[in-house]
Amino acid sequence: MAPVRGDGMRGLAVFISDIRNCKSKEAEVKRINKELANIRSKFKGDKTLDGYQKKKYVCKLLFIFLLGHDIDFGHMEAVNLLSSNKYSEKQIGYLFISVLVNTNSDLIRLIIQSIKNDLQSRNPVHVNLALQCIANIGSRDMAESFSNEIPKLLVSGDTMDVVKQSAALCLLRLFRSSPDIIPGGEWTSRIIHLLNDQHMGVVTAATSLIDALVKRNPDEYKGCVNLAVSRLSRIVTASYTDLQDYTYYFVPAPWLSVKLLRLLQNYNPVTEEPGVRARLNETLETILNKAQEPPKSKKVQHSNAKNAVLFEAINLIIHSDSEPNLLVRACNQLGQFLSNRETNLRYLALESMCHLATSEFSHEEVKKHQEVVILSMKMEKDVSVRQMAVDLLYAMCDRGNAEEIVQEMLNYLETADYSIREEMVLKVAILAEKYATDYTWYVDVILNLIRIAGDYVSEEVWYRVIQIVINREEVQGYAAKTVFEALQAPACHENMVKVGGYILGEFGNLIAGDSRSAPLVQFKLLHSKYHLCSPMTRALLLSTYIKFINLFPEIRSNIQEVFRQHSNLRSADAELQQRASEYLQLSIVASTDVLATVLEEMPSFPERESSILAVLKKKKPGRVPENEIRESKSPNPVSNHQNANSHHINSNSTASNKLNNSNAHADLLGLSTPPANNVGGSNSNSNSTLIDVLGDIYGTNNNANAAVYNTKKFLFKNNGVLFENEMLQIGVKSEFRQNLGRLGLFYGNKTQVPLTNFNPVLQWSTDEALKLNVQMKAVEPTLEAGAQIQQLLTAECIEDYADAPTIEISFRYNGTQQKFSIKLPLSVNKFFEPTEMNAESFFARWKNLSGEQQRSQKVFKAAQPLDLPGARNKLMGFGMQLLDQVDPNPDNMVCAGIIHTQSQQVGCLLRLEPNKQAQMFRLTIRASKETVTQVICDLLSDQF
């Protein structure tokens, strides 16, 4: 161990050494307990402890806490250290308080008084320690207690510079937790004028604070623009020798420059004053000029600092988008970085050029670098740089270079990284549609996409090509011919089969005159792919076959034979059986005229914005230009039922149904806002606070006078409003891991008066506690008007149980005693771990759990009209793993999971079988423990 010098605490060093030398966890715990007992006895027995000894023991407690052990004493001794005049003792006291003292502690008033004393001290070190403590705690109580002192310290002429720096950063920390702490009026001007301070450290800290204030209230702080431009100009034009203390590798004040440039980006336009705008443009030109100068140092720190300022300046130029000269210069500068050795610089250059490509002033300049960008897409070693090159090609594309860029992206797609293929497919599809002058080219591009990267072609893409072909008569024959040729390939992707089935079912007659694509040839070609496809695609092909009977009566017998084969047990899928049976009867019973009416061509889809762009925006929010593809409206299929029979089977019902639901994609950008709360008066404030904490905005009852209590919904969710009436709102937020759980209960007072004698009590019998051990922390007895408090609970599942604990809440409201009970959302399913398994493993396990005691089954009527997607969502929230493509019937839902208890792990399987005709469900639970099957079955049987 190194020798201890000066003010070093030898006892602390020895203790740390002992801990490090422990050979086992038990030895470490034993040594810690011994030390805790020693410290406790010293604090209780020895009233003459000096500051050094208190500091040493408090340090030991801090170290023990950092090792993960709870500390429940020593707080008063730490508070006593705050009154010391020695820096080291005061520092340790503040450190202990920052880390270990709860804001609800009884000692908080003493702490606040000690901090106030230090804030008034003439010793700047003591003032800084106090400010750091306030910022570290950063609570609303701290903000309210020091809302007057800290702003005064910040703007006072007597305050030392180092204290002003700390005051600005402390105020920024408190502003983030309590935005109302910053006074307005004359204070605004005084804070803004800190940008003129002589001390660069004060200006740097003040810029961070002002940037946060501007984001919240830009109009009030607009006066900062002139001062920021002036200060930035002085920094940029200064020699590195003028700002020696703030020069970093020959770059004057790079961090402050970056902060000022970001501050100016909060306004657009930055300024309306011609003189200020001219000075800003001159400053930006100076930054661009300096980037062209030879480096003053070969060290990487110099280039990093210089480029940081340059890129932020370019961001400001792009943000303003009003100076053609600066935009062109910025583009040329970025073009030089495309060939730089530094990967990060190439990435940043590509990213900035993506934004420049959207400006009318610099778009043509960006296009000059097209060849280099294509080379980057193909040759870069770093996949993130290649992806950024793809983004730039997408952004720079226009009618003049669309075909070349799309072809290059298609060529690269064959060898592209799997991580970027899906996004590339979407971008190629959007570009091909937006800039197609000839829709035969568009059809070729999409079919090439499916051939090259079929697995990454989303449903929206192949829906889209079908929409366009149906809406444009001139391309229908070409599309049928091209897709017929594509289907002749030995290996054909399933998406190609879907497109082929749909288009040939509608327009196969346009190519039937050629003997090479005669009706029977078309039918045999499609049917040769049938056995390789999923049930969904098979259903689409059966719809194509019934269309063929209308288009080509001469092959009716061939198609009817296929329908006969698939209308019986040869097809394990009930949907396919039913579809084949109905189509067979339709082809036998219906006359030619009836068939022609029922199986008429799909009508044109109404024009609307492309859903593919919405998908891309969802994948890359903020990276897709907002004006993309606006002029090329996306057809959306009609959802009419003008001919019920026609639309029951009309041309590929699988695709039709999904296309009809494409309004579901209307909010793919995630921009919808929840309905506004209509709770009146002050209640709305407390309501919104609680709801914001819980993230359960949509589920809130807006009627303040109605009591809301629905614990059943928490079977499928962990967060939300558990109970609400006109006085109280109780929210819950919980998390679970294996057999352990943690709940936070949020009690919100919705009234104008305090709720006194507030006392939640756990109602859980001793016998039940042996199965589920629940511990609940106490809360304050008074819940102030409009306030909210949190209560933490921990739960440990020891063995499976049937019921859930209850809390009884009592309080006095306006002198009247109130009491009610609420069941906690702690059902046994909360301790599920989802389990993945394939069909073979599932049914093997299902068969093994076939004993009478291992299964439970219920058949029940659906509580509401059968909602299979809703049932799937509920099962996904129940805690088990919903297994897709396991059950032969796609309507059936199967799940698997393991319930973790302290004593054992209980495997559990679930099968939910809906009967659409009878509007009923059959629920079967199989588990390795009898009691679990019955409990899970009872929990779920009334939920669908």
Could you report the per-residue pLDDT of 838-897, keeping only the tens digit for each? 888 888 888 888 777 788 888 888 877 788 888 888 888 888 888 988 888 888 899 999
Backbone angles phi, psi at 614, to 5 degrees: -65, -40
d(CA 813, CA 728): 10
Closest C-alpha among 170, 257, 185 to residue 217: 185
- Which of 74-88, 423-437, 559-573, 677-691 has the weakest average pLDDT? 677-691
> 347 labelled as ligand-binding?
no
Report yes or no on 7 lying in a domain.
no
Residue ending a domain, choose from 826, 841, 875: 826
Name the one residue in this structure whose structure tokens are 């800190």. Answer: 194
d(CA 696, CA 693): 8
Neighbours of 189 (CB within 10 A): 12
d(CA 61, CA 74): 8
* Sign of the four-CA dihedral 656, 661, 663, 664: negative
Report yes or no on 52 lying in a domain.
no
d(CA 312, CA 260): 9
3-state secondary structure of 262: helix
* Tokens found for residue 178: 């309590």
866-896 b/e with 16+ CB inside 10 Å = b? beeeebeebbebbbbbbbeebbeebbebbbb
- Which of 41-50, 580-589, 766-775, 899-908 has the weakest average pLDDT? 41-50
Report yes or no on 262 lying in a domain.
no
- Which of 181-190, 313-322, 455-464, 673-682 has the weakest average pLDDT? 673-682
Predicted TM-score (pTM) of the model is 0.61
Angle (deg, nearest 10), helices 611-619 and 418-434: 150
d(CA 49, CA 238): 56
CATH assignment of the domain containing 936: 3.30.310.10
Counted domains in the chain: 3
CA distances from 17 to 5, 40, 921 (A): 16, 21, 65
> 721 labelled as ligand-binding?
no
Judgement on whether residues 808 and 751 belong to the same structural domain of the protein: yes
Residue 864's pLDDT is 78
Judgement on whether residues 769 and 853 belong to the same structural domain of the protein: no
CATH assignment of the domain containing 388: 1.25.10
**What's the average model confidence in pLDDT over 829-841?**
88
Residue 659's pLDDT is 39
d(CA 28, CA 17): 11
Name the one residue in this structure whose structure tokens are 């989303």. Answer: 458
CA distances from 189 to 227, 272, 507, 597 (A): 11, 20, 72, 77
Judgement on whether residues 840 and 882 belong to the same structural domain of the protein: yes
Which residues have CB under 8 Å from 531's CB, separation 6+?
Answer: none
Torsion of CA 667, 669, 672, 673, to 10 degrees: 160
Q: In the chain, pLDDT over 70 holds for what percent of residues?
A: 87
Decide: 850 and 866 in contact? Cβ < 8 Å.
Answer: no
d(CA 696, CA 717): 10
> 59 labelled as ligand-binding?
yes
Asked whether the predicted pLDDT for residue 379 surpasses 50, the reply is: yes
> 57 labelled as ligand-binding?
yes
pLDDT digits (tens, 9 = 90+) for 587-622: 888 888 888 888 888 887 776 666 776 677 666 654
d(CA 786, CA 802): 37
Asked whether the predicted pLDDT for residue 323 surpasses 50, the reply is: yes
Residue 671's pLDDT is 26
Closest C-alpha among 563, 572, 655, 654 to residue 889: 572
Asked whether the predicted pLDDT for residue 640 surpasses 60, the reply is: no
Report yes or no on 123 lying in a domain.
no
3-state secondary structure of 64: helix
Report yes or no on 716 lying in a domain.
yes
Neighbours of 769 (CB within 10 A): 15
* Tokens found for residue 581: 């049976």
Residue 595's pLDDT is 82
Name the one residue in this structure whose structure tokens are 């792009």. Answer: 318
Angle (deg, nearest 10), helices 494-507 and 476-487: 140
Question: Angle at Cα 891 formed by Cα 888 and Cα 893, nearest 5°?
Answer: 80
Judgement on whether residues 818 and 896 belong to the same structural domain of the protein: no
Decide: 727 and 818 in contact? Cβ < 8 Å.
Answer: yes
Q: What is the DSSP letter of 755?
A: B
Q: In the chain, pLDDT over 90 holds for what percent of residues?
A: 30
CA distances from 784 to 376, 648, 686, 750, 813 (A): 62, 61, 11, 10, 11
Backbone angles phi, psi at 415, to 5 degrees: -115, 5
Judgement on whether residues 811 and 748 belong to the same structural domain of the protein: yes
Judgement on whether residues 834 and 922 belong to the same structural domain of the protein: yes
Judgement on whether residues 787 and 895 belong to the same structural domain of the protein: no
3-state helix, strand and coil shares in percent for the chain, rounded to the nearest 5: 55, 15, 30
Judgement on whether residues 737 and 795 belong to the same structural domain of the protein: yes
Instruction: Give the CA diameter of the chain.
Output: 110
* Amino acid at residue number 679: V
Decide: 310 and 286 in contact? Cβ < 8 Å.
Answer: no
Asked whether the predicted pLDDT for residue 309 surpasses 90, the reply is: yes
3-state secondary structure of 894: strand
d(CA 633, CA 531): 37
Residue 620's pLDDT is 60
> 60 labelled as ligand-binding?
yes
Decide: 908 and 829 in contact? Cβ < 8 Å.
Answer: no
848: left (phi over 0), alpha (psi -120 to 50) or beta: alpha
* Amino acid at residue number 760: P
CA distances from 358 to 266, 364, 390, 409, 578 (A): 20, 10, 15, 20, 53
Residue 130 burial (10 A CB sphere; 0-12, 13-18, 19+): buried
Residue 719's pLDDT is 85
Neighbours of 381 (CB within 10 A): 7
Judgement on whether residues 820 and 853 belong to the same structural domain of the protein: no
Residue ending a domain, choose from 357, 377, 396: 396
pLDDT digits (tens, 9 = 90+) for 122-154: 899 999 999 999 998 888 888 888 888 898 888
Give the full edge-to-edge strand order of the sheet including 806-813.
756-763, 806-813, 816-823
Which alpha helices (H) appear in 321-361, and where do they start and end? 324-337, 343-356
Report yes or no on 28 lying in a domain.
no
Which residues have CB under 8 Å from 76's CB, separation 6+?
Answer: 107
Pick 102 or 266 by higher pLDDT: 266
pLDDT digits (tens, 9 = 90+) for 530-547: 888 889 999 999 999 999
Neighbours of 489 (CB within 10 A): 10
Which residues have CB under 8 Å from 724's CB, separation 6+?
Answer: 700, 701, 707, 708, 709, 730
Judgement on whether residues 936 and 866 belong to the same structural domain of the protein: yes
Strands 633-635 and 920-927: unpaired
Closest C-alpha among 29, 49, 52, 51 to residue 40: 49
Residue 600's pLDDT is 82
pLDDT digits (tens, 9 = 90+) for 673-685: 233 333 333 333 3
d(CA 591, CA 917): 29
Residue 106 burial (10 A CB sphere; 0-12, 13-18, 19+): exposed
Report yes or no on 882 lying in a domain.
yes
Instruction: Give the number of residues written for the chain.
Output: 944
Please state, rounded to an integer, the average pLDDT across all residues of the chain.
Answer: 83
Asked whether the predicted pLDDT for residue 712 surpasses 80, the reply is: no
Backbone angles phi, psi at 454, to 5 degrees: -55, -35
Q: What is the DSSP string of 613-674?
A: HHHHHHHSTTSS-TTTTSSSEEE------SSHHHHHHSS-HHHHHHHHTGGGGGGTT----P
Residue 240's pLDDT is 63
**What's the average model confidence in pLDDT over 410-416?**
89
CATH assignment of the domain containing 725: 2.60.40.1230
pLDDT tier, 233 (very low <50, low <70, confident <90, very high otherwise): very high
Judgement on whether residues 927 and 916 belong to the same structural domain of the protein: yes
R_g (Cα) of the chain, nearest Å: 35
Residue 176's pLDDT is 87
d(CA 573, CA 287): 69
d(CA 881, CA 896): 5
Residue 285's pLDDT is 93
Decide: 500 and 483 in contact? Cβ < 8 Å.
Answer: yes
> 390 labelled as ligand-binding?
no
Domain with 789 in it:
708-826
3-state secondary structure of 204: helix
Report yes or no on 744 lying in a domain.
yes
3-state secondary structure of 333: helix
> 879 labelled as ligand-binding?
no
Pick 573 or 914 by higher pLDDT: 914
* Tokens found for residue 672: 């919808």
Provide the β-strand partners of residue 708: 724
Residue ending a domain, choose from 348, 372, 396: 396
Judgement on whether residues 775 and 871 belong to the same structural domain of the protein: no
